């Protein structure tokens, strides 16, 4: 039953094919069996079994919400009351939040059963899950390759069918890129669609939570739970949440797809270009039209991102000071020593690098040249997308320039690592929703197709993704050893 | 060399909201340490600030009261620095786009009115408190105050003496209380200021190098701190030295200022817009609402008191110095039916005297305006004399009884029956033939002796007018 989608499990639970407790037990067993993947930081067996028992009672009572009894797991960036939230960092290895993230509360109310907390790059800073204090996660498709990041644990666990679905967060591609590298479906919603309350901030103006699932159909069910205005998050948008499943089967006849020529220039690996072209051809068969669009400022996305995100993170991470919670050095000599050693010991290299870059970019005399300039570029990039989306319904392209790369392959060269997010970062800068869906393989490694839509057009994206999944079976493939 | 002092003030007024500026925790003063700090105030990971709209409304109110531009659009920014009582490692403040722009405040010094420019006023959160005592070499942190809303009011360098600075500070202090946006309690730190002080040769246009005096929390200290700092600066310059731009702390015990940190050591706060908060847009509706709620401002009230009640300038200033006092005054006139003159006299002399003696505020007065009105009525209908009234007032101060009840119980009713007064006077004339002789021989001063004796014999209850009339009659030469 572990290969089943949420949609199938919902039916099974209601038909009485299995109970939530049986389901939970079976997934917990798989998590244990595949510990070597290192996709979980914390497994909450006991709480999960208790929740499953409650879910079964609710199901028996006959008025349980749709997802009651479905096992899921949260990226370890979402605060969970009473259960450690580490954010992949030594700094928060001892941190237990006295509150739930809004997303966590919403899933609890929806009746899902949380099996644990998923591995991730430290403070969501990374594209390979290698910056985690808890060690790298392995890609179930090729053990010696990375699962992508920062939501690498989420992607690997769903791909290995250790859980039917997971939450993730995406600041520069952190849902889409690992989804692509692990051959699953990932959705980054419009900025403001999902509450950020209780989601430990990396770059506040870019962070957005979203679902990671096997199928678009499941992503619709998950997003239905996650989306909505939250009075506790001023940047969440007060706007009605549509029924994300209602339009999944709409025809794509006449759908206008834009292909940005800048996505397909010489930087793109030819196998990847071919795979994307094949996927786009599938859409043509479904009745879609394809036009070329242009985004002249796209090449500025990475430099702009690596000013804005570090700038924000340099302030966001200041609260990790060893004073009130988190890692504190032993025997501090004075206040400065407490700060320096607690932070020096608690943070990993990549986090330190970004704090330093951000601090520099905000410093007197550099602020205009870096931060203000980056914000201007951000506006230009948004304009590029807005202009393109006036002509087309969705924009398509690759998620990642290559399929999964080797563990350790890029860790010594941060710039090389940053370039792994070249196709995803611009979308965060613009605040648009985007998906990654499985679209084939290169050397037995999954390839992701990226679909980008207009603001709050998540339903459209899900419809476009679902229709493709009706005529392809890439999303149904399970890696060897995890069938 | 003649020196001119140049002063600008940064006043921090704690806004009187029930809850904090970015969280739902209470702002009440004096609770056990860290009992009024929620996850947001503690700066725990993942939590987010949500702006208290009441703080915005109060800032707008202040802006309108000083006739400033209230910005259509203002932005919160992060001011980054590390300190244990600053939980997030940054303070949420406003930098490039403050909520209140250029305005002004008129002050009166030595009978001259002077206009002091207000550069800006912006919203920000307060930090917590570091407690250095009681922890044996360690520092305790109390975050109850963290997140309390502040309005930082920045003046132009328009003041030329410590006296002017104090006058300006008093005016702002009076205004924020008038507007009900700050309780003005300086002991609790609800109202405090930093002073930027420099000197220059008289006639020179360029400003001298300034020093910033930190966190001065009384009018007296502002005056002393500025004066002592000016002296220090003059001494240095006249000895051929130069002023260093730095932050200095005023030590009230030693009456001196001393260096905290120089400009070189100053933090680079790395301000940038807070991505957790949206820009604040002030709607026309809010403007209209606040405008409608705006109370009569102190200077306008003072003007009205002079015109409507014919008060002299000093009394008008005193009675309009707080909204409660002004309200007390007008309520007293209304309820007593007495004239403004007697009402203002009673408030500025008897009532204020008694309040000052016990260090009480008008709002804490044991004698309410309706009880005082009851007393004034008895004066105006001649039941008691003004002198007896003071006695009654004293008794009212220490009890909850009405003037009437006290007058009855103590038998203080004035004797107006001329027969009774005549009887007393006849006896006094008979007992003092010598004094009668003197008076009749032209020593007019002796008349006072007879008045005094009569009042004494009547225990002060004889109507003084009647006494005069009858005495004059009886002692006719």
pLDDT (tens digit per residue) in A66-97? 999 999 999 999 999 999 999 999 999 999 99
Q: Report pLDDT for B477.
A: 54
Where b means 16+ CB within 10 Å and e means fewer, B270-303 reads bbbbbbbbeebebeeeeeeebeeeeeebbbebbe
Look at residue B133 and tell me whether its pLDDT is greater than 90. no
Q: Report pLDDT for B343.
A: 95
A162 and A269 Cβ atoms separated by less than 8 Å = no
Q: Which residue has the tokens 């939230």?
A: A85
Contacts of A238 (CB under 8 A, 6+ apart): A229
Strands (DSSP E) found in B178-326: 191-201, 211-216, 246-251, 256-262, 272-273, 280-281
Q: With bands split at pLDDT 50, 70 and 90, how would you rate the model's confidence at B374?
A: very high
Chain A, residues 376-435, CB within 8 A of chain B, namely: none
**B64 and chain A: CB distance < 8 Å anywhere?**
no
- What are the domain boundaries of chain A? 6-254+392-476, 299-375
Q: Report pLDDT for B423.
A: 85
Contacts of A455 (CB under 8 A, 6+ apart): A190, A431, A432, A433
Tens digit of each residue's pLDDT (9 = 90 or more) over B3-62? 999 999 999 999 999 999 999 999 998 899 999 999 999 999 999 999 999 999 999 999
Where b means 16+ CB within 10 Å and e means fewer, A187-218 reads bbbbbbbbbbbbbbbbbbbbbbbbbbbbbbbb
What homologous superfamily does CATH list for A6-254+392-476? Amidase signature (AS) domain (3.90.1300.10)
* Rounded percentage of chain B residues whose pLDDT exceeds 90: 71
In the numeric block, which tokens belong to residue A326?
């988190």
Mean pLDDT value across chain A: 97
Element (H, E) at B142: strand B140-142
Q: Which range, of A1-10, B213-222, B262-271, averages the lowest pLDDT?
A: B262-271
Tell me the chain B residues in contact with residue A75 when contact means C-beta distances shorter than 8 Å: none
Q: With bands split at pLDDT 50, 70 and 90, how would you rate the model's confidence at B264?
A: low
Mean pLDDT of A342-359: 98
Q: Report pLDDT for A144.
A: 97
CA distances from A89 to A149, A276, A337, A345, B459 (A): 14, 36, 20, 10, 88
Instruction: Tell me the whole-structure pTM to 2 decimals.
Output: 0.90
Q: With bands split at pLDDT 50, 70 and 90, how would you rate the model's confidence at B300?
A: very high
Q: Which residue has the tokens 């997303």?
A: A103
Q: Report pLDDT for B5.
A: 97
CA B435 to chain CA centroid, nearest Å: 54
* Rounded percentage of chain B residues whose pLDDT exceeds 70: 99
Quick one: how many helices (H) and strands (E) in chain A? 16, 11
Quote the CA–CA distance of A312 and A31 in Å, as a whole number.
35
Quote the CA–CA distance of A10 and A16 in Å, as a whole number.
10
Sign for the CA dihedral angle at A142, A147, A274, A462 comes to positive
Q: With bands split at pLDDT 50, 70 and 90, how would you rate the model's confidence at A43?
A: very high
DSSP 8-state code for residue B350: I
Judging by DSSP bridges, how do beta strands B246-251 and B211-216 pair with one another? parallel
* Rounded percentage of chain A residues whose pLDDT exceeds 90: 96
Other C-beta atoms lying within 10 Å of the C-beta of residue A383: 14
Contacts of A381 (CB under 8 A, 6+ apart): A295, A297, A298, A300, A301, A304, A426, A429, A430
Tens digit of each residue's pLDDT (9 = 90 or more) over A359-371? 999 999 999 999 9
Q: With bands split at pLDDT 50, 70 and 90, how would you rate the model's confidence at B265?
A: low
Q: Report pLDDT for B450.
A: 87
Quote the CA–CA distance of A163 and A56 in Å, as a whole number.
18
Among A154, A174, A236, A400, the active-site one is A174
Look at residue B466 and tell me whether its pLDDT is greater than 90. no
Judging by DSSP bridges, how do beta strands A165-170 and B272-273 pair with one another? unpaired
CA A250 to chain CA centroid, nearest Å: 26
Q: Report pLDDT for B288.
A: 96
Q: Report pLDDT for A128.
A: 97
**Contact: A367, B272; criterion CB under 8 Å:** yes
Q: Report pLDDT for B430.
A: 86
Mean pLDDT of A336-354: 97
Contacts of B102 (CB under 8 A, 6+ apart): B68, B69, B117, B118, B119, B120
Tens digit of each residue's pLDDT (9 = 90 or more) over A115-173? 999 999 999 999 999 999 999 999 999 999 999 999 999 999 999 999 999 999 999 99
Q: Is A412 a catalytic residue?
A: no
Question: Which residues face B197 on adjacent strands?
Answer: B7, B211
B79 and B271 Cβ atoms separated by less than 8 Å = yes
Helices (H), A204-334: 216-226, 270-285, 301-316
In the numeric block, which tokens belong to residue A46?
């006991």
- Best of B39, B42, B45, B78 to mutate (most A CBs within 10 Å, chain A): B45
Choose the closest CB to A235 out of B89, B272, B278.
Answer: B278
Closest CA to A236 of A111, A124, A126, A101: A101
Choose the closest CB to B277 out of A92, A234, A320.
Answer: A234
Mean pLDDT value across chain B: 92
- What are the domain boundaries of chain B? 3-288, 296-410, 418-474
DSSP 8-state code for residue A37: G
In the numeric block, which tokens belong to residue A97?
């939040």
Look at residue A309 and tell me whether its pLDDT is greater than 70. yes
Q: Report pLDDT for B86.
A: 97
Q: Is A106 a catalytic residue?
A: no
- Which of 3.40.50.300, 3.40.50.620, 3.40.50.1100, 1.10.10.410 would CATH assign to domain B418-474? 1.10.10.410
How far does A438 lie from chain B, in Å, by closest CA? Answer: 31
CA distances from A151 to A114, A169, A259, B312 (A): 17, 7, 27, 76
Tens digit of each residue's pLDDT (9 = 90 or more) over A248-299? 999 999 999 999 999 998 778 899 999 999 999 999 999 999 999 999 999 9
**B300 and chain A: CB distance < 8 Å anywhere?**
no
Q: Is A75 a catalytic residue?
A: yes
Residue in A closest to B273 by C-alpha: A312
Quote the CA–CA distance of B239 and B225 in Å, as a whole number.
21
**Contact: B272, A235; criterion CB under 8 Å:** no
Closest CA to A308 of A233, A385, A235, A367: A367
Choose the closest CB to A99 out of B39, B80, B278.
Answer: B39
Tell me the chain B residues in contact with residue A79 when contact means C-beta distances shorter than 8 Å: 45-46
In the numeric block, which tokens belong to residue B423?
């009887």
Q: Report pLDDT for B1.
A: 81
Closest CA to A163 of A216, A106, A112: A112
Q: With bands split at pLDDT 50, 70 and 90, how would you rate the model's confidence at B231?
A: very high
């Amino acid at each position: 039953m572990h290969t089943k989608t949420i949609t199938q499990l919902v039916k099974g639970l209601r038909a009485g094919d299995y109970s939530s407790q049986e389901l939970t037990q079976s997934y917990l067993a798989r998590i244990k069996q595949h510990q070597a993947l290192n996709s979980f930081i914390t497994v909450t067996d006991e709480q999960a079994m208790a929740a499953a028992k409650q879910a079964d009672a609710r199901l028996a009572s006959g008025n349980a919400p749709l997802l009651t009894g479905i096992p899921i797991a949260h990226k370890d960036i979402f605060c969970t009351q009473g259960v450690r939230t580490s954010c992949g960092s030594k700094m928060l290895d001892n941190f237990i939040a006295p509150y739930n993230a809004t997303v966590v509360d919403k899933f609890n109310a929806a009746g899902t059963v949380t099996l644990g907390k998923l591995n991730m790059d430290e403070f969501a800073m990374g594209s390979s899950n290698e910056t985690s204090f808890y060690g790298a996660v392995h890609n179930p498709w090729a053990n010696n390759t990375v699962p992508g990041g920062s939501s690498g644990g989420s992607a690997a666990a769903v791909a290995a069918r250790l859980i039917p679905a997971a939450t993730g967060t995406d600041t520069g591609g952190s849902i889409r890129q690992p989804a692509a590298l692990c051959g699953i479906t990932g959705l980054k919603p419009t900025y403001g669609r999902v509450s950020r309350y209780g989601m430990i901030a990396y770059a506040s103006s870019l962070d957005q939570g979203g679902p990671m699932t096997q199928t678009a159909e499941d992503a619709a069910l998950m997003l239905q739970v996650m989306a909505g205005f939250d009075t506790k998050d001023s940047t969440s948008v007060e706007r009605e949440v549509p029924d994300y499943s209602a339009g999944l089967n709409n025809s794509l006849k006449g759908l206008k797809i834009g292909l940005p020529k800048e996505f397909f220039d010489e930087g793109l690996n030819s196998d990847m270009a071919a795979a994307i072209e094949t996927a786009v051809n599938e859409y043509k068969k479904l009745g879609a039209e394809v036009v070329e669009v242009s985004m002249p400022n796209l090449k500025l996305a990475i430099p702009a991102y690596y000013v804005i995100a570090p700038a924000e993170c340099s302030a966001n991470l200041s609260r990790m000071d060893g004073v009130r919670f988190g890692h504190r050095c032993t025997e501090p000599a004075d206040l400065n020593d407490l700060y320096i050693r607690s932070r020096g010991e608690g943070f990993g290299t990549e986090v330190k690098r970004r704090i330093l870059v951000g601090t520099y970019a905000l410093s007197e005399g550099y602020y205009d040249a870096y931060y203000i300039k980056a914000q201007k570029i951000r506006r230009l990039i948004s304009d590029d997308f807005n202009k393109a989306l006036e002509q087309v319904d969705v924009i398509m392209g690759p998620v990642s320039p290559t399929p999964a790369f080797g563990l350790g392959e890029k860790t010594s060269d941060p710039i090389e690592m940053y370039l792994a997010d070249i196709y995803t970062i611009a979308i965060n800068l613009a605040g648009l929703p985007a998906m990654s869906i499985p679209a084939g393989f290169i050397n037995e490694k999954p390839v992701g197709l990226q679909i980008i839509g207009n603001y709050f057009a998540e339903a459209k994206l899900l419809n476009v993704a679902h229709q493709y999944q009706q005529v392809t079976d890439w999303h149904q493939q399970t890696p060897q050893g995890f069938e | 060399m003649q020196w001119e002092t140049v002063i600008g003030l940064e006043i921090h007024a704690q806004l009187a909201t029930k809850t904090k500026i970015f969280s739902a925790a209470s702002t009440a003063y004096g609770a056990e340490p860290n009992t009024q700090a929620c996850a947001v105030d503690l700066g725990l990971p993942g939590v987010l600030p949500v702006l208290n709209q009441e703080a915005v409304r109060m800032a707008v109110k202040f802006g309108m009261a000083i006739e400033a531009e209230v910005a259509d659009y203002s932005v919160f920014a992060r001011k980054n620095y590390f300190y244990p009582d600053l939980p997030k490692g940054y303070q949420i403040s406003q930098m490039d786009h403050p909520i209140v722009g250029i305005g002004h405040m008129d002050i009166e010094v030595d009978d001259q009115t002077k206009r002091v420019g207000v550069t800006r006023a912006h919203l920000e959160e307060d930090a917590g408190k570091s407690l250095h005592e009681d922890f044996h070499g360690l520092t305790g942190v109390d975050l109850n105050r963290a997140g309390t809303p502040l309005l930082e009011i920045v003046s132009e360098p328009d003041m030329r003496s410590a006296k002017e600075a104090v006058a300006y500070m008093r005016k702002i202090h009076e205004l924020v209380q008038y507007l009900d946006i700050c309780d003005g309690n300086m002991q609790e730190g609800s109202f405090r200021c930093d002073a930027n002080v420099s000197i220059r040769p008289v006639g020179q246009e360029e400003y001298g190098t300034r020093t910033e005096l930190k966190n001065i929390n009384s009018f007296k200290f502002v005056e002393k701190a500025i004066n002592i700092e000016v002296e220090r600066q003059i001494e240095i310059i006249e000895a051929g030295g130069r002023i260093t731009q730095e932050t200095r702390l005023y030590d009230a015990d030693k009456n001196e200022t001393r260096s905290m940190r120089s400009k070189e050591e100053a933090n680079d706060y790395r301000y940038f817009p807070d991505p957790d908060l949206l820009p604040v847009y002030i709607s026309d509706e809010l403007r209209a609402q606040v405008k409608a709620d705006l109370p009569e401002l102190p200077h306008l009230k003072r003007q009205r008191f002079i015109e409507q009640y014919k008060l002299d300038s000093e009394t008008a200033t005193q009675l309009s110095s707080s909204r409660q006092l002004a309200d007390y005054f007008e309520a007293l006139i209304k309820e007593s039916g007495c004239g403004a003159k007697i009402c203002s006299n009673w408030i500025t002399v008897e009532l204020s005297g008694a309040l000052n003696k016990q260090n009480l505020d008008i709002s804490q007065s044991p004698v309410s305006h309706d009880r005082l009105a009851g007393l004034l009525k008895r004066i105006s209908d001649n039941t008691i004399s003004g002198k007896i009234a003071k006695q009654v007032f004293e008794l009212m101060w220490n009890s909850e009884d009405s003037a009437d009840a006290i007058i009855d119980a103590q038998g203080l009713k004035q004797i107006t029956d001329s027969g009774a007064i005549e009887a007393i006077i006849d006896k006094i004339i008979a007992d003092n033939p010598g004094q009668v002789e003197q008076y009749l021989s032209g020593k007019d001063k002796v008349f006072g002796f007879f008045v005094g004796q009569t009042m004494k014999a009547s225990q002060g209850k004889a109507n003084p007018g009647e006494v005069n009339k009858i005495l004059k009659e009886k002692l006719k030469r």
